[in-house]
């Protein structure tokens, strides 16, 4: 059985490790992770029984599939260590935001490269991931899709520019929902609802709304249709929605997501500037 290696052993790497073990795609003996933090590697090895190393070169010697899980700003320095040392048959998958396949090819040479953008709900097997490649075989893309579907839903796109926008929408997206939840709890507290009750109600409302939306999506219903169903004329919901819309709620959301997309593009330029 082939070995899969993860460079970086943070939260997303852990989600991948947990998912692929649980799905049976890989056994613990066929997974290796590297990281600069000995304590993190000790935890990962103890929790999942995988191989670990602080040496990225050792990892690439053993792995037939490599997933780059380091922060974007650390990618250039990490690549300095493994620059053009990866076997041409090795599949490289990068989840580093803003790091283009063109840049990775320039640094790693002629190896199949897939750019992936998962999100943090992968930590509870509810992730959303997009994949793109300019040079990987269809079988490699399908293998990558299988890997990330062990942690949620996965789509393949045919335009790398989409990945920057997807980074802004689903990659960063959980934080937008958490911010809304944070503000709803704060509003409840301002209206004298005890903190524990406010949190329980908001968290359950978020969970229930998500489940309801997922079921509606399967039926072909849009979020706008769902909103209309709970917005009675001259009712309480309409009063709140009117305030949100009058203050350009949609424009604010778009501006924020566009800013995240633009930052993803900037990250690629910053990586290239380290050359």
CA-wise closest residue to 70 among 25, 123, 5: 5
CA 50/CA 31 separation, integer angstroms:
5
- Which residues touch 161 (CB under 8 Å, ≥6 apart)? none
The reported pLDDT for the residue numbered 4 is: 98
Q: List b or e across 108-140, with b for residues whose CB sees 16 or more CB atoms inside 10 angstroms.
A: beebbbbbbbbbbbbbeeebbbbbbbeebeeeb
Look at the alpha carbons of 241, 243, 249, 251 in this order and tell me if their dihedral is positive or negative: positive
- DSSP strand pairing (113-117 vs 127-132): antiparallel
pLDDT of residue 94: 97
What's the pLDDT at 275?
Answer: 60
pLDDT of residue 215: 96
Residue 8's pLDDT band, with cuts at 50, 70 and 90, is very high
pLDDT of 17 > 80? The answer is yes
Q: Read off the pLDDT of each residue in 68-77 and give the average, rounded to a whole number.
A: 94
Q: pLDDT at position 238, please?
A: 96
Task: Please provide the average confidence, as pLDDT, over all residues in the chain.
Answer: 95
User: At residue 274, does pLDDT exceed 80?
Assistant: no
- CB–CB of 132/158 below 8 Å? yes
Domains along the sequence of the chain with CATH: 4-162 (3.40.50.720), 173-263 (1.10.3730.10)
Average of per-residue pLDDT across 231-235: 94
Give the pLDDT band (50/70/90) at residue 271. confident
| Chain segment 87-108, per-residue pLDDT in tens | 889 999 999 999 999 999 999 9
As given in the structure block, the two tokens for residue 8 are: 């970086």
Q: Per-residue pLDDT for 51 more than 70?
A: yes
């Amino acid at each position: 059985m082939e070995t899969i290696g993860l460079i970086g052993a943070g939260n997303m790497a852990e989600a991948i490790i947990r998912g692929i073990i649980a799905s049976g795609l890989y056994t613990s003996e066929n997974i290796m992770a590297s990281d600069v933090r000995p304590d993190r590697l000790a935890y990962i090895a103890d929790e999942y029984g995988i191989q670990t190393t602080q040496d990225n070169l050792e990892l690439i010697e053993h792995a037939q599939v490599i997933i780059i899980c380091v922060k974007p700003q650390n990618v250039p320095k990490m690549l300095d260590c493994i620059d053009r040392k990866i076997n041409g048959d090795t599949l490289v998958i990068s989840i580093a935001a803003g790091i283009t396949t063109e840049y990775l090819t320039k640094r790693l040479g002629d190896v199949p490269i897939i750019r992936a953008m998962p999100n943090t709900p992968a930590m509870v097997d509810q992730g959303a991931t997009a994949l793109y490649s300019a040079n990987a075989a269809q079988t490699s893309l399908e293998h990558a899709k299988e890997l990330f579907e062990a942690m949620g839903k996965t789509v393949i796109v045919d335009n790398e520019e989409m990945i920057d926008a997807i980074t802004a929408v689903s990659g960063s997206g959980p934080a937008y929902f958490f911010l809304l939840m944070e503000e709803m709890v704060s509003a409840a507290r301002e209206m004298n609802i005890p903190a524990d009750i406010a949190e329980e109600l908001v968290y359950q409302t978020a969970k229930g709304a998500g489940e309801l939306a997922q079921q509606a999506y399967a039926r072909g219903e849009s979020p706008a249709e769902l909103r209309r169903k709970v917005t009675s004329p001259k009712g309480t919901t309409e009063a709140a929605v009117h305030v949100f819309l009058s203050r350009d709620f949609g424009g604010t959301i778009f501006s924020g997501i566009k800013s995240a997309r633009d930052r993803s593009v900037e990250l690629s330029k910053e990586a290239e500037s380290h050359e």
